[in-house]
């Protein structure tokens, strides 16, 4: 009995068990890894481009310029949205396209 | 024994994510600098943070993040605040930084002597009641 436990077969099986369990935990840790949704390119762009874009949008689409416009409420909402996201370049570009679309529709 | 292996793997995973974040930022800033979109070159590095800004998940070593702006001139206080504002107003990024063990954000100009620092805990909007 004693010889059976310390036989090379058991030793071999024990090592196989250790290695497979280690691989299993490695894979599990990889699966759980948090995938980042923060794009660094956007942040760097925001640092350098937001100020100029925000200033130009502020001048272009100020609510006072569209006081008698057909879609003035919609434009006001967009302006407020722009004020809220003034430090995010990506959302500012999206808002700019929305501004252009609403002004196109009103023509 | 297993829990020790898991904790070691977790530690390595976290370190990898920390270095990846720093690398990503540095690559993005150099690319935009080379392309001519950015006027100054920004460099992110891990430093020892302020001990008064520590929180429950902050690392013992390297709990600070420093953004160094390599411009030709020394930047004014407002310019430094503008750079930091972009990072601090991005709530997702701040929460990610907190979860990876950072607690301080520093912004320095090219001289490296004058700089400002902010506690990340303040800008993560942590706390309050849980929503069930």
Kindly report the pTM of this predicted structure. Answer: 0.75
Query: Hey, is the C-beta of B6 within 8 angstroms of any chain A C-beta?
Result: yes
- Does the pLDDT of residue B37 top 80, yes or no? yes
- Residues A89, A66, single domain; the answer is yes
CA angle, corner A95, sides to B42 and B85, nearest 5?
30
- Residues A100, A50, single domain; the answer is yes
- Name every chain A residue with its beta carbon within 8 A of the beta carbon of B13: 29, 33
- Name every chain B residue with its beta carbon within 8 A of the beta carbon of A44: 25, 28-29, 32, 38, 42
CA pair distance A72, A57, nearest whole angstrom: 16
- pLDDT at residue B14 in the model: 81
**Token pair recorded at residue A94:** 């999206």
Query: Hey, is the C-beta of A92 within 8 angstroms of any chain B C-beta?
Result: no
CA pair distance B130, B17, nearest whole angstrom: 27
Identify the domain containing residue A15 by its residue range: 2-31
CA pair distance B76, B28, nearest whole angstrom: 24
Half-sphere exposure of A37 toward its Cβ, with a 13 Å CA cutoff? 4
- Residues A100, A52, single domain; the answer is yes
pLDDT grade for B107, boundaries at 50, 70 and 90: very high
Asked, for residue B100, whether it belongs to a domain, the answer is: yes
pLDDT grade for B32, boundaries at 50, 70 and 90: very high
Q: Do A48 and B38 touch (CB under 8 A)?
A: yes
- Does the pLDDT of residue B104 top 90, yes or no? yes
Asked, for residue B25, whether it belongs to a domain, the answer is: yes
Name the nearest CA neighbour of A40 among B122, B113, B97.
B97
- Does the pLDDT of residue B43 top 60, yes or no? yes
Asked, for residue B92, whether it belongs to a domain, the answer is: yes
DSSP string, A39-91: -HHHHHHHHHHHHHHHHHHHHHT-GGGGTT-TTHHHHHHHHHHHHHTTT-HHH
- pLDDT at residue A103 in the model: 85
Q: ipTM for the complex?
A: 0.81
**pLDDT, block means (10 residues), chain A with 107 residues:** 67 87 76 65 88 91 84 88 88 91 77
């Amino acid at each position: 009995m004693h010889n059976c436990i310390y036989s090379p077969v058991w030793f071999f099986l024990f090592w196989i068990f250790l290695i497979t369990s280690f691989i299993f935990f490695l894979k599990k840790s990889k699966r759980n890894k948090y995938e980042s949704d923060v794009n660094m390119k956007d942040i760097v762009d925001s640092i350098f481009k937001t100020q100029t874009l925000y200033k130009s949008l502020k001048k272009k689409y100020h609510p006072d310029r569209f006081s008698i416009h057909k879609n003035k409420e919609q434009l006001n909402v967009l302006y407020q949205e722009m004020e809220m996201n003034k430090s995010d370049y990506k959302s500012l570009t999206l808002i700019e396209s929305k501004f252009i679309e609403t002004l196109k529709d009103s023509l | 024994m297993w829990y020790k292996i898991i904790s070691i793997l977790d530690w390595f995973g976290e370190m990898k994510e920390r270095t990846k974040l720093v690398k990503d930022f540095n690559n993005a800033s150099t690319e935009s600098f080379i392309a001519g979109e950015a006027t100054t070159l920004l460099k992110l590095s891990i430093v020892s943070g302020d001990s008064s800004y520590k929180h429950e998940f902050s690392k013992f070593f390297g709990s600070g993040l420093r953004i160094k702006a390599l411009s030709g001139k020394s930047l004014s206080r407002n310019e430094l605040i503008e750079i930091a504002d972009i990072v601090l107003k991005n709530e997702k990024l701040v929460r990610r930084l907190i979860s990876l063990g950072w607690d301080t954000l520093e912004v320095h100009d090219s001289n490296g002597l004058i700089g400002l620092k902010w506690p990340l805990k303040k800008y993560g909007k942590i706390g309050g009641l849980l929503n069930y």
